[in-house]
Amino acid sequence: MAQFINPLAAHIQTVKRRLIIIGATILTALVVTFSFSADMVAWLNRPFPNQLVFYGPTEALFASIKVSFLSAIILSLPVIFYQCWKFIEPALLKKEQRWAIPLFLLAGGLFGLGLVFCNLVILPLVIDFFVSFGMDRDITPQLSVGTYIDFNVKFLLIFGCAFELPLAMTLLARAGVVTAKVFAQYRKHAILTTLIISAIVTPDATLFTMLLMAVPMMVLYEIGILGARIFGKEQEGGSIDLPMDPDVPMGTAGTRLR
């Protein structure tokens, strides 16, 4: 019994150590980025023509912490990916280990691309639409910094994660779990799921913001199908040539040994 408990304890200890390293890295980056929080808030305030205000004593502080925390996570991505890599490395074959680092780099690049796309394209459209809607009705816009930063940070995180969709689909197809043909067959279901997810996770439940998120996700889904078609493993149809003699032993992977 002890021989099973010791490896489990060592495994848990490894997980705790790597989580502590990740947490300490994010905390250190948060301290550094907090000193630049005013510049980051000003950067996010570009699409809004007026000065942001705050209505509570702590609202400006928590808004600065939120934007600093997002920046800290982005800066800590190399350490996070490295710790994840070192954790799964012993379970990978040599061939798989060669692909791990490029995949982590690609995942980080896609996350960053999602942030850039959201910041430069989506957020200006969303903010301009809602602000113009109110100004056309002679209503003076006066946004609180807490609500505004929370709106921006949620959108940025959502798009950063959404841009990982093509990579996830390609990896599933490469592993032989799902084929590009199956992804294509369930395109209508994916569109419906995308609309539902967009309605749930967007900061406000308006049709405009829902479509601004759903349409890019549909495009990303099509890119994922293309990646699955190029890099995936197609499942071979037809019968499998296996011996039918029940006396022939079975291998550990479930195939019969000749």
Decide if 135 is inside a domain: yes
SS3 at position 256: strand
Q: What is the pLDDT of residue 154?
A: 86
206 φ/ψ angles, rounded to the nearest 5 degrees: -85, 155
- Model confidence at 258: pLDDT above 70: no
Query: How far is 87 from 42, CA to CA, in rounded Å?
Result: 38
Q: What is the mean pLDDT of residues 219-240?
A: 76
The C-alpha angle 235, 236, 240, rounded to 5 degrees, equals 125
Query: How far is 85 from 183, CA to CA, in rounded Å?
Result: 28
- The two structure tokens encoding residue 67: 């934007």
Q: What is the mean pLDDT of residues 77-93?
A: 82
CB atoms within 10 A of CB 222: 15
Q: What is the pLDDT of residue 28?
A: 96
Q: What is the pLDDT of residue 116?
A: 92
- Of the candidates 214, 206, 109, 103, the residue with the CA atom closest to the CA atom of residue 158: 214
**pLDDT tens digits, one per residue of 234-250:** 655 443 344 444 454 55
Q: What percent of the chain has pLDDT over 70?
A: 86
**pLDDT tens digits, one per residue of 135-154:** 878 787 888 999 899 888 88
Query: How far is 128 from 150, CA to CA, in rounded Å?
Result: 17
Query: How far is 172 from 210, CA to CA, in rounded Å?
Result: 27
Decide if 2 is inside a domain: no
CA-CA-CA-CA torsion sign (44, 47, 52, 56): negative
- When mean pLDDT is compared across 34-38, 53-57, 172-176, 200-204, the lowest value belongs to 200-204
Q: Give the pLDDT band of residue 10 (cuts 50, 70, 90).
A: confident
- The two structure tokens encoding residue 110: 């896609």
Q: What is the pLDDT of residue 5?
A: 53
What pTM did the predictor assign? 0.76
Decide if 4 is inside a domain: no
Decide if 205 is inside a domain: yes
- Of the candidates 148, 146, 151, 152, the residue with the CA atom closest to the CA atom of residue 61: 146
Q: For the chain, first and last CA: distance in Å?
A: 36
Decide if 250 is inside a domain: no
Burial of 113-125, coded b for 16+ CB within 10 Å and e otherwise, reads: ebbebbbeebbee
- The two structure tokens encoding residue 17: 């150590």
- Of the candidates 55, 203, 49, 213, the residue with the CA atom closest to the CA atom of residue 131: 49
Q: What is the pLDDT of residue 257?
A: 44
Q: Is 76 exposed, middle or buried (0-12, 13-18, 19+ CB in 10 A)?
A: buried
Decide if 3 is inside a domain: no
Q: What is the pLDDT of residue 254?
A: 47
- When mean pLDDT is compared across 58-67, 90-99, 184-193, the lowest value belongs to 90-99
Distances (CA, A) of 167 to 173, 213, 253: 10, 18, 27
Range of the domain at 45: 9-231
- Model confidence at 81: pLDDT above 50: yes
- When mean pLDDT is compared across 8-22, 163-177, 193-207, the lowest value belongs to 193-207
**pLDDT tens digits, one per residue of 36-59:** 999 999 998 888 877 888 888 899
Decide if 106 is inside a domain: yes
> How many structural domains does the chain have?
1
Average pLDDT, the chain: 82
Decide if 140 is inside a domain: yes
